[in-house]
Amino acid sequence: MLGMEEHPDIAEMRARYDRAAQSSTAQFVSGLAFMLGLYLAISPWVIGFNARATLTVNNLIVGIAMAVLAVGFASAYGRTHGVTWVMPVLGVWTIIAPWVLPEHGATTSVIITNVITGALIIACGAACVGIGMMSSRRHHLRRA
- What tens digit of pLDDT does each residue of 35-53 get? 999 999 999 999 988 888 8
CA-to-CA distance for 41 and 69, rounded, in angstroms? Answer: 14
Contact, 33 vs 66, CB < 8 A? yes
Cα radius of gyration (the chain):
18
pLDDT for residue 125 is more than 50: yes
CA-to-CA distance for 30 and 19, rounded, in angstroms? Answer: 14
Residue 81's CB: how many other CB atoms inside 10 A?
25
CA-to-CA distance for 8 and 11, rounded, in angstroms? Answer: 5
CA-to-CA distance for 67 and 63, rounded, in angstroms? Answer: 6
pLDDT at 139: 47
- For the four alpha carbons of 48, 54, 57 and 58, in that order, the dihedral sign comes to negative
More confident site: 32 or 50: 32
pLDDT for residue 112 is more than 90: yes
Mean pLDDT of 109-122: 96
The pLDDT tens digits for 65-111 are: 999 999 988 887 766 777 889 999 999 999 999 999 987 678 899 99
